[in-house]
Amino acid sequence: MDEKALGSVKGPFQRARLHMRSGKRRLREGKISAGIVTLYDALLGAMESYVNSPENRRHIVITAGDDLRSDKTLYAVLVRSGILDGAFDFEAFSRLTETALEEEMPSYDYHDVLNGIEQIMAQLGVMPFDESKLPPEDPSTF
C-alpha cells in the first residue's frame, strides 16, 4: 500500500484497518509484542486520519501549544473534544508499547487492551469493517 498516494485521510485510515487486522493476527499467533506494537500504530493511523479530515477537524478543540504530532497530545485533544470517551488508558498503553519494543511478552494477557483499542476504533469510525474488503495479507510479513 502506498499510504502517501492515498492522501492524509485515506492513507492513515487504511493503515489503521490493515494494522488492526495484522495486529490481532499476531496476538492470536502468540507474537504478543509485535501485535501490541502493530495495534499502537493502528491507533495512531486512526487518530491521524480523524484529525486530518477537514470535516472532522471542525469538531476538534485545539488550543495553543497542542502539538498534534505528539501521540499523547493527539489522544488528549480527541478526548477533550468529546470524540473519544477517555475510558482507555492511553498513557498505560504507551508504556506497554515501549516495553513491547524492548522485549517479548509471551505471557501477557492482551484481551483488555485489544478490547479498549477496538472501542476507540469504533469511536473514530474505523471499526467495524469487513476484513475481506482489505487487500490480502502478504505472507512474507512477520
Tell me the pLDDT tens digit for each residue of 5-57. Answer: 667 888 999 999 999 999 999 999 999 999 999 999 999 999 999 999 999 98
Burial of 108 (0-12, 13-18, 19+ CB in 10 A): middle
> Is 140 contained in some domain?
no
What whole-number distance in Å separates Cα of residue 90 and Cα of residue 62? 19
pLDDT value at 3 more than 70: no
> Is 141 contained in some domain?
no
Tell me the pLDDT tens digit for each residue of 106-139. Answer: 999 999 999 999 999 999 999 876 777 756 676 6
Domain range for 68 is 7-133
For the chain, the domain total comes to: 1
> Is 34 contained in some domain?
yes
Contact between residue 66 and residue 73 where contact means Cβ atoms under 8 Å apart:
yes
